[in-house]
Amino acid sequence: MHIIIVGCGKVGQTLVEQLSGENHNIVVIDEREEKVRQLTDELDAKGIVGNGVSNLILQEADIAHADLLIAVTGSDEQNLLSCVIAKKAGHCKTIARVRNPIYFNEIPFLRKELGLSMIINPELTSANEIARIFQFPSAVKIDTFSKGRIELLHFIVTPDCLLNNYQLLHIRSTLKCDVLVCMVTRGDELVIPRGNFVFQEGDVVAIVSTPAIAQQFFKKIGINTHPINNAMLIGGDTITYYLAKRLLAAGISTKIIEPNLARCEELSELLPTATIICGDATDQKLLLQEGISSVDGFAALTGLDEENIMLSLYAQTISKAKCVTKIDKTNFSSVLNHLRLDTITYPHLLTADTITKFVRSMEASLNSNVENLYRLEEGRAEVLEFYIKESSDVTDIPLEKLRIKKNILICCITRGTQFIIPGGQDEMKIGDLVVVVTTNFRLNDINDILEK
């Protein structure tokens, strides 16, 4: 596909990194020459220095033949206008990043009236992810599939967890839990485990299940499943506003600590039922005074990665809170893994992943029967959703009789309202939505899971 990306910031760069290796013709536009040069020197993309709102610049980017324009500059208005002009100048789909809360209630209107395919809000996306984590604190990360009906939950095997030194095959035979372990990360190694796999302390395990069944599973293996009752949020930026609004709506007592008095007054008006504290969260006395040792949920959401890391590590040592750390820079993600931070959220990565998923869905509708595609573990694994449209070499045959390639696992089958964790006797049928995990790249069709 011919894709134009307006804006070479963190999101724009991540999008090019994710899409440039997938045979797309990518053009990036930015007014900052050094950003364009840096991106095009490192990655496979054409660069244009200029304003993405300019029709002449868009024409230079060949907007007439573009399949998609993605506007992710620092200006909401510029992003929206760039999409409008792109729709007039070409016939492409458009995506705009819109962050200002004043547009929050107008997103459906803007999408419809401006003809946008998607409006993405990084802060809202991150806030929603953190809220899900707080509601299921035993997980370090949650991905959803099949329109939210199925969850991929990542959790850590602790010393007192039943799974420590436990063999995988006993989960269904002994624990009688209808969950499927699809992936285990052990240090730098990523494994799609077989039945004889033995879990170890520190393993990050990903299971596929429905929320209700996952609750039962976590109880059986001795992991806390109780949602939080109160939360402390550090920093008063937009992401904090969205998160606090959602937590308060769920009946969770919420306290915000923010150093800027004017912002505190603004938050007090926007969130009248929240407790707003004006102060420096790096002051340990203040944190102790405000009850950090007894909170259930803690989120470090300031604009400084280093401060967020320090605050989360402190919260983990002094409390039993579920801790979430916001990180903007991904350069040292491997180092962060060794710090044992509870849960990390990367707003710009979430934004890029959401857009990339849309791009792949577009491409899928043209070239394959992939409904959705997600990258996990920094791109080392993929989860694909296939819609079975017609009879083929994989349909109406027991899974145990299919010659499935190594490092491919069929996680679940959704058949109408029925959710199936597949065993050897189960079959894929026309109309099924099938979720597959793989470290083999790249599958375009459900038949690609088979050995030739």
Task: Please report whether residue 355 resides in a domain.
Answer: no
Q: Are 339 and 391 part of one and the same domain?
A: no
Query: Are the beta carbons of 75 and 344 closer than 8 angstroms?
Result: no
Domain that holds residue 189: 138-220
**Best-predicted range by mean pLDDT among 3-7, 372-376, 405-409, 438-442?**
3-7
Q: What is the pLDDT of residue 57?
A: 95
Task: Please report whether residue 225 resides in a domain.
Answer: no
Q: Are 246 and 214 part of one and the same domain?
A: no
Task: Please report whether residue 208 resides in a domain.
Answer: yes
Q: Over the stretch 224-245, which tens digit does the pLDDT of each residue have?
A: 777 899 999 999 999 999 999 9
Query: What percent of the chain lies above the pLDDT cut of 70?
Result: 93
Q: Are 116 and 6 part of one and the same domain?
A: yes
324: how many CB neighbours lie within 10 A of its CB? 29
Q: Is the pLDDT of residue 180 over 90?
A: no
Output the pTM of the full model: 0.81
Q: Are 142 and 200 part of one and the same domain?
A: yes
Task: Please report whether residue 352 resides in a domain.
Answer: no
The last residue of one of the domains, among 190, 220, 250, is 220
Mean pLDDT value across residues 47-75: 94
The last residue of one of the domains, among 58, 85, 120, is 120
Mean pLDDT value across residues 135-164: 82
Mean pLDDT value across residues 56-63: 95
Q: Are 69 and 22 part of one and the same domain?
A: yes
Task: Please indicate whether residue 63 or residue 101 has the higher confidence score (pLDDT).
Answer: 63
Task: Please indicate whether residue 338 or residue 33 has the higher confidence score (pLDDT).
Answer: 33
Least confident of 103-107, 227-231, 334-338, 447-451: 334-338
The last residue of one of the domains, among 168, 194, 220, is 220
The b-or-e profile of 231-262 (16+ CB within 10 A means b, else e) is bbbbbbbbbbbbbbbbbbeeebbbbbbbbeee
Task: Please report whether residue 44 resides in a domain.
Answer: yes
Q: Are 437 and 377 part of one and the same domain?
A: yes
**164: domain CATH number?**
3.30.70.1450
**288: domain CATH number?**
3.40.50.720
Q: What is the pLDDT of residue 137?
A: 84
Bridge-partner residues for 404, per DSSP?
450
Task: Please report whether residue 129 resides in a domain.
Answer: no
Q: Which of 344, 123, 328, 103 is nearest to 236 (CA)?
A: 123
Q: Are 264 and 208 part of one and the same domain?
A: no
Q: What is the pLDDT of residue 262?
A: 97
Task: Please indicate whether residue 183 or residue 367 has the higher confidence score (pLDDT).
Answer: 183
Task: Please report whether residue 87 resides in a domain.
Answer: yes
Domains: count for the chain: 4
Confidence of residue 333 (pLDDT cuts 50, 70, 90): low
Q: What is the pLDDT of residue 337?
A: 67
Q: Are 249 and 202 part of one and the same domain?
A: no
Q: What is the pLDDT of residue 23?
A: 78
Least confident of 48-62, 73-87, 177-191: 177-191
| C-alpha–C-alpha distance, residues 140 and 146, integer Å | 20
Task: Please report whether residue 125 resides in a domain.
Answer: no
Q: Is the pLDDT of residue 130 over 90?
A: yes
Q: What is the pLDDT of residue 94?
A: 95
Q: What is the pLDDT of residue 367?
A: 52
Q: Are 144 and 85 part of one and the same domain?
A: no
444 by DSSP, 3-state: which? Answer: coil
Q: Which of 177, 173, 150, 161 is nearest to 383 (CA)?
A: 150
Q: Are 241 and 333 part of one and the same domain?
A: yes
Q: Which of 74, 92, 91, 72 is nearest to 5 (CA)?
A: 72
Q: Are 6 and 115 part of one and the same domain?
A: yes
Confidence of residue 309 (pLDDT cuts 50, 70, 90): very high
Q: Are 321 and 387 part of one and the same domain?
A: no
Confidence of residue 351 (pLDDT cuts 50, 70, 90): confident
Q: Which of 383, 281, 379 is nearest to 333 (CA)?
A: 379
